Amino acid sequence: MRVVHIGHVPLPAEHPDYGRLYSHPGRWVLNLAMAQAAHTAIEPSIVTQVPGASVDWRCEVDGIKVEFVRVPDRLRAATLFQFDKRTLSRKALATNPDIVHAHGTEEAYAMAAEATGKPNVITLQGVFAIINKEFPPKLVSRARIVEFLEARALRRAKHTIAKSDYIAERTAALFPNLQIHRIPNTFDTRILSIDTTKVPRSACFVGMITVRKGLDLVVDALRQLDKTAYPSEFHVVGNRSAGEADYDRRVLSDLRQLLGDRLVLHGIVPALEAAKIIARCEVLLAPSREEMFGNQLIEALLLRTFPVVSEGTALAENSRKFVSGKIVPSPSHPDWPTALKSPLYGKGEEMTRVRGEVLSQMGPAVVAEAHCKLYQQIIQSGDW
């Protein structure tokens, strides 16, 4: 079975524009394709867009064929991503797929999958109908345009994949026409060989520095603590070295003033490097105000790092599923300062138990087989 994924892949170092263009380090699409190639009869390939790229470029990334497609870096939302949709759908069809799997409703991925006219399925990632309700953007904005296009795509769609009950339940209420299948993300098994020796009382935050990710809640919590309760080291993975927004600058400035040389800023780093940073920390602080899966939580559990998360998110759902971590009742709850105190450190034995449970439920073979069965169901039914 030939499957073409339309979704994000980080630029590899060999790409002609590597280092010039920003590339999110997330590997969730690539990890799934690798799992499918290793554990099923699926022949996966990936088509991904690179706004502002100088060339179209093909290569293999970790054994998976990936086509990095050049698209404009201006006026894309203003043209309703129609040129991107046509380009991506054409590239996807060139792989002669049996089914097309789009990852996300942002940009043109979902629209491109539907435009191929092939059997297709859409993985729900950041659903803007949910995000924009929690964090209302300007009336005329890129986020509003994406929400409009997302609604059009999801009203036409039949099959979608939700990575958590959190996103499944909210999306089902908005789009009752959808058949929503529950399959989680998987992970790169190479993280299992990383040394998990911890630096005592160390903590980390992994994610973009945005209001949604809630790093300001850590700042507020630190202000309520005596300095003796501060982490010995606090690692931040995901800060931008350039183009920081006002929120970025304010939060990072506050952390520098509070923590001094205990604060370690790593910037945006490759996924395996980020995993090594998580592995050395005793606690992962994930105070997101809204989160639809949370790869950082799953990797933390695999790396024996104790998570602290906010209730009402998929982070809390997964923490509860594996009976591990501390769930703060809400992002603004006064319990956040206690999330930084010593009783949360030194959970090594508990985290060893959890690692095995994550492997059994979200391991590459399990997730790849679940996708394979769904693809077969969609193709055979002709109902897409």
Q: In the structure, what pLDDT confidence band is assigned to residue 143 with cuts at 50, 70 and 90?
A: very high
For the chain, the structural domain boundaries read 2-186+363-381, 189-361
d(CA 359, CA 28): 16
Task: Specify the CATH number of the domain 189-361.
Answer: 3.40.50.2000
Helix axis angle, 348-362 relative to 295-302, nearest 10°? 120
Burial state string for 165-174 with b = 16 or more CB within 10 A and e = fewer than 16: ebbbebbeee
How high does pLDDT run on average in the chain?
Answer: 92
> Of the candidates 71, 43, 44, which has an alpha carbon nearest to the alpha carbon of residue 55?
71
Indicate yes or no: pTM above 0.75: yes
pLDDT above 90 for 33: yes
* Residue 204 near residue 213 (C-beta atoms within 8 A): no
Burial state string for 346-366 with b = 16 or more CB within 10 A and e = fewer than 16: ebeeebeebbeebbeebbbeb
Q: What's the whole-number mean pLDDT along residues 128-140?
A: 91
Helix axis angle, 314-321 relative to 165-174, nearest 10°? 140
Name the DSSP class of 65: E
Question: What is residue 384's predicted lDDT score, i.e. its pLDDT?
Answer: 82
Question: What is residue 126's predicted lDDT score, i.e. its pLDDT?
Answer: 85
DSSP run (H or E) holding 359 = helix 348-362
pLDDT tens digits, residue range 72-118? 988 899 899 999 999 999 999 999 999 999 999 988 999 999 999 99
d(CA 190, CA 301): 14
Strand partners, 361: none
pLDDT above 60 for 243: no
Q: What's the whole-number mean pLDDT along residues 217-232?
A: 91
Residue/partner pairs of 54-60 with CB below 8 Å, 24 or more apart: 54/16, 54/17, 55/16, 55/17, 57/15, 57/16, 59/12, 59/14, 59/15
Q: In the block, which residue shows the tokens 């959890």?
A: 354
The two three-digit tokens of residue 125, written as one number: 């990632």
d(CA 222, CA 108): 40
Question: What is residue 342's predicted lDDT score, i.e. its pLDDT?
Answer: 57
189-361: same fold as 2-186+363-381?
yes
Task: Specify the CATH number of the domain 2-186+363-381.
Answer: 3.40.50.2000
d(CA 10, CA 15): 10
Of 173-182, 287-296, 368-377, give the lowest mean pLDDT range. Answer: 287-296
Q: In the block, which residue shows the tokens 């949370």?
A: 294
